[in-house]
Amino acid sequence: MEDYDFSTLIGLVSQYSPSGEERGAVEWLVARMRALGFLRAFADGAGNAVGVMGDGPQQVVLLGHIDTVPGEIPLTLTPGPSPLGRGEILYGRGSVDAKGPLACFVDGVARVGAVEGWQFVVVGAVEEERNSEGARFVAPLYQPEFAIIGEPNRWDRVALGYKGSAWAQITVRRAQAHSASGQESACEGAVNVWNRAKAWAEGFNAERGKVFEQVLLSLRAIQSGQDGFNDWAQIQIGARLPVSVSPEDWYPILKEMAGEAEFERIGYAIPAYQCEKNTALVRAFLSGIRAEGGKPSFVYKTGTADLNVVGPVWNCPALVYGPGDSALDHTPEEHLDLAEYAKAVGVLAGALRALVG
């Protein structure tokens, strides 16, 4: 590890790029991919950073995201303990979510180089932390034989599924009444809608022991007001949905619980997506992890990712891979163990060689 070049990772993390402000990071990564020998590197019509290695007719698309949540963390490289041996820790926004995985894709593909008959396409997508505009743009442009999505799940694990999501806004209105009248206020009505939704989810989940199979609800916002004659209360409910419950299944259920309240879908609804386990792609990664001394395992995540957007369109073997502890996503302590990053690059390079060799 002492001789490993971490320039891609450190350089990319140094480019602060919250959603909507990715241009500088995209330009930096395009230049870096050119320097590493990619056949082509450019910013596409959505502003994504794209690098192409090789010119064969068969594609492997490695889709990461270059945007981060807001909140700049000073780039710091410090000595620290590592389960992989004494190493260094890189602090910085995006070091985990998800510039670490994206940089891993760039370095891994550069290590493998061009392979006859194949084309590796690395995409650093914009806007993943908002509405996945970058992934939505590339989904119809490529038809890969294999897809690898970049998110942090540790170097020795692969993720095979992400839950769906659906957001709704519910507004309850009531004629204003004296607090001693006993009439239900708008605030009480909104709380009752939330309680009914929670009770439904608890009943649904009671027979489903795995979190990936459950409906997970969150109360994301609440506000209220009055104009002297009428009261109103508004809540936003977010739902993390399993494969068995699509957004189109969920919205009528929630709307029925809202009763006469105003009901509005907000944002993009995304169905859950689960990858096939017995594929050449999965086997290549399991082999790559073992070759680096790891004991591979699988994980199914409760969040959503660009996998949910491109998976149903590309309909090819896919998985999610990347170094880093996802518990650090979006936190002020976001950091990545450089020893883990080096392992992940080795895993990816080995997996790609096994896949297309």
Same domain, 153 and 200: no
Domain count, the chain: 2
Q: Which of 152, 131, 125 lies closest to 51, judged by CA?
A: 125
Same domain, 216 and 294: no
Q: Which of 22, 67, 156, 340 is catalytic?
A: 67
Same domain, 141 and 222: no
HSE-CB at 115 with a 13 A cutoff on CA atoms is 18
**Distance, CA of 263 to CA of 261 (rounded, Å):** 6
Does a structural domain hold residue 2?
no
Global pTM value? 0.92
Strands 87-91 and 76-80: antiparallel
Burial of 45 (0-12, 13-18, 19+ CB in 10 A): exposed
Q: Domain of 224?
A: 164-270
Res 226 pLDDT > 50: yes
The residues pairing with 262 across neighbouring beta strands, listed in sequence order, are 171
- Which of 249, 270, 291 is the last residue before a domain boundary? 270
pLDDT tens, residue by residue, 86-104: 579 999 999 999 999 999 9
Express as a percent the part of the chain with pLDDT over 70.
Answer: 96
The residues pairing with 230 across neighbouring beta strands, listed in sequence order, are 175
Q: Which two tokens stand for residue 297?
A: 């395992």
pLDDT, position 179: 59
Question: What average pLDDT score do residues 134-159 get?
Answer: 97
What would you report as the CA-atom Rg of the chain, rounded to the nearest whole angstrom? 23
2 is known as an active-site residue: no
Same domain, 154 and 31: yes
3-state secondary structure of 189: helix
Q: Which of 127, 128, 129, 292 is catalytic?
A: 128
Does a structural domain hold residue 1?
no
CATH code (residue 172)? 3.30.70.360
Same domain, 119 and 175: no
Res 231 pLDDT > 70: yes
67 is known as an active-site residue: yes
Same domain, 155 and 35: yes
CATH code (residue 113)? 3.40.630.10
Same domain, 233 and 89: no
Same domain, 329 and 302: yes
Q: Which of 99, 107, 100, 127 lies closest to 22, judged by CA?
A: 127
- Which of 270, 294, 314 is the last residue before a domain boundary? 270
